[in-house]
């Protein structure tokens, strides 16, 4: 089934899974978008949560220009120093670099379900990921719908978690990087830690979102570590419920755009033992400070807001 967007453009958005994800056709991202096209894409993103564009041979400047339809584009990442000199917005996700940075082989920058950069008090609103070199097989990414994860909870558990806050820090409970790696050292010197509501409210759609992930959420505030681990394990299982997910097979020129407030994603774990190259370029759009069901905003425990232009 292909659902034409209510705004009159040539764009179509075809759902690819029951809870999340749509293929986008009818647009060439080498061209600048008109306001109707941009609005149709933004509305579709809020509806489908992750959008997949195909065969888009664009460069860094065109990726940054496209990302700006969603808001100001930030620098690549708070801990990144590998961005191309002329494009400080571009995060290079290249499996060949992680052994040097993390002290272990990795396909991407975390090996757990995560929402991008939630240790920031204002995590990115939107992420845009463009594939440049991909292996012939393997290296897929998965996304999950955090509104579905919240909606699937029984009412009594919803009521409990709506009143809770959680700490988010780099590495979560099980960091991918070695503590004595250059990355571990960087994080120790300038920790980024924030406290977010366990259930945040989407600022545009009003949806309630289960906003915890194993990539970054380290503990429930006010709980003992044992209590926190037990509850987080349960919530992480809900977030990773297979029915709420979609899996994407990359080709060179594929682009995925996700609503980073309403989703978590999982980088591949199946190519670390293979002699392959996987290079993607990510841009992120400045996010607002999340707000819980009770109206309480997130707070920074360590670190500043990350803004863009
Ligand atoms: C990311 O976490 O933003 C990148 C995901 C991937 O490498 O598939």
Residue 75 neighbours by CB under 8 Å, 6+ apart: 83, 88, 89, 306, 308
**Which tokens hold the place of 292?**
């819980």
Question: Is 4 a domain residue?
Answer: no
Please identify, by atom number, the ligand 1 atom nearest to the C-alpha of residue 268.
Answer: 8
What pLDDT was estimated at residue 8? 63
User: For helices 95-102 and 182-189, what crossing angle results, to 10°?
Assistant: 60
CA proximity to 15, closest of 39, 40, 50 = 50
CA–CA separation, 298 and 120 (whole Å): 10
- Per the structure, the complete domain to which residue 213 belongs is given by 12-302
CA–CA separation, 268 and 254 (whole Å): 16
Q: Best mutation site among 93, 140, 263 for ligand 1, i.e. most ligand atoms within 8 A of its Cβ?
A: 93
Residue nearest to atom 6 of ligand 1 (CA): 267
Active site residue 116: yes
Active site residue 28: no
For ligand 1, is residue 116 a contact (CB within 6 Å)? yes
pTM of the model: 0.96
What pLDDT was estimated at residue 7? 61
For ligand 1, is residue 213 a contact (CB within 6 Å)? no
For ligand 1, is residue 278 a contact (CB within 6 Å)? no
For ligand 1, is residue 267 a contact (CB within 6 Å)? yes
CA–CA separation, 137 and 135 (whole Å): 5
pLDDT in single tens digits along all 309 residues of the chain: 455 445 668 999 999 999 999 999 999 999 999 999 999 999 999 999 999 999 999 999 999 999 999 999 999 999 999 999 999 999 999 999 888 888 888 888 778 999 999 999 999 999 999 999 999 999 999 999 999 999 999 999 999 999 999 999 988 998 889 999 999 999 999 999 999 999 999 999 999 999 999 999 999 999 999 999 999 999 999 999 999 999 999 999 999 999 999 999 999 999 999 999 999 999 999 999 999 999 999 999 999 999 999
Question: Is 158 a domain residue?
Answer: yes
Question: Is 63 a domain residue?
Answer: yes
Question: Is 308 a domain residue?
Answer: no
What pLDDT was estimated at residue 1? 47
Residue 155 neighbours by CB under 8 Å, 6+ apart: none
Ligand 1 centroid to 107 CA: how many Å?
9
For residue 265, CA distances in Å to 112, 187, 238, 262 come to: 8, 22, 13, 10
What pLDDT was estimated at residue 106? 87
Question: Is 1 a domain residue?
Answer: no
**Which tokens hold the place of 294?**
């009770």
**Which tokens hold the place of 246?**
């979609």
The residue with tokens 């664009």 is: 58
Question: Is 307 a domain residue?
Answer: no
CA–CA separation, 220 and 299 (whole Å): 14
What pLDDT was estimated at residue 66? 98
Question: Is 160 a domain residue?
Answer: yes
Ligand 1 centroid to 197 CA: how many Å?
24
From first CA to last CA, the distance across the chain in angstroms is: 37
**Burial category of 284 from C-beta neighbours within 10 Å (exposed 0-12, middle 13-18, buried 19 and up):** buried
Q: What would you measure as the largest C-alpha separation in the chain, in angstroms?
A: 54
Structural domain count of the chain: 1
Ligand 1 centroid to 267 CA: how many Å?
5
What pLDDT was estimated at residue 5? 47
For ligand 1, is residue 92 a contact (CB within 6 Å)? no
Residue 223 neighbours by CB under 8 Å, 6+ apart: 231
Question: Is 19 a domain residue?
Answer: yes
Ligand 1 centroid to 40 CA: how many Å?
25
For ligand 1, is residue 284 a contact (CB within 6 Å)? no
The DSSP letter of residue 244 is G
CA–CA separation, 47 and 34 (whole Å): 20
For ligand 1, is residue 239 a contact (CB within 6 Å)? no
In the chain, helix, strand, coil percent, each to 5? 25, 25, 50
Active site residue 30: no
CATH number at residue 92: 3.60.130.10
What CA dihedral angle connects 25, 28, 34 and 40, to 10 degrees? 20
């Amino acid at each position: 089934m292909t659902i034409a967007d209510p705004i009159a453009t040539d764009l179509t958005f075809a759902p690819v899974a029951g809870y999340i994800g749509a293929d986008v056709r009818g647009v060439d991202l080498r061209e600048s978008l008109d306001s109707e096209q941009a609005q149709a894409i933004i509305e579709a993103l809020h509806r489908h949560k992750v959008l997949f564009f195909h065969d888009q041979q664009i460069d860094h400047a065109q990726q940054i220009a496209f990302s700006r339809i969603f808001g100001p584009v930030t620098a690549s990442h708070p801990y990144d120093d590998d961005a191309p000199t002329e494009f400080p917005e571009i995060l290079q996700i290249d499996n060949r670099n992680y052994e040097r940075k993390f002290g272990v082989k990795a396909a991407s920058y975390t090996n757990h379900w995560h929402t991008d950069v939630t240790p920031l008090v204002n995590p990115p609103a939107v992420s845009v990921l463009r594939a440049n070199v991909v292996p012939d097989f393997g290296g897929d990414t998965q996304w999950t719908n955090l509104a579905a994860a919240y909606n699937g909870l029984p009412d009594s558990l919803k009521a409990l978690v709506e009143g809770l806050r959680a700490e988010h820090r780099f590495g979560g409970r099980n960091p991918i990087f070695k503590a004595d790696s250059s990355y571990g050292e960087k994080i120790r010197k300038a920790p980024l830690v924030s406290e977010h509501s366990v259930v945040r409210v989407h600022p545009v759609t009003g949806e309630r979102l289960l906003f915890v992930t194993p990539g970054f959420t380290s503990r429930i505030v006010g709980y003992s570590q044992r209590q926190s681990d037990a509850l987080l394990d349960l919530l992480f299982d809900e977030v990773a419920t297979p029915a709420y997910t979609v899996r994407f097979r990359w080709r060179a020129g594929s682009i995925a755009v996700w609503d980073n407030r309403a989703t978590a994603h999982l980088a591949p774990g199946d190519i670390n033992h293979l002699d392959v190259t996987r290079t993607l370029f990510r841009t992120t759009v400045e996010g607002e400070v999340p707000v819980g069901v009770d109206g309480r905003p997130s707070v920074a425990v360590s670190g500043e807001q990350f803004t863009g232009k």
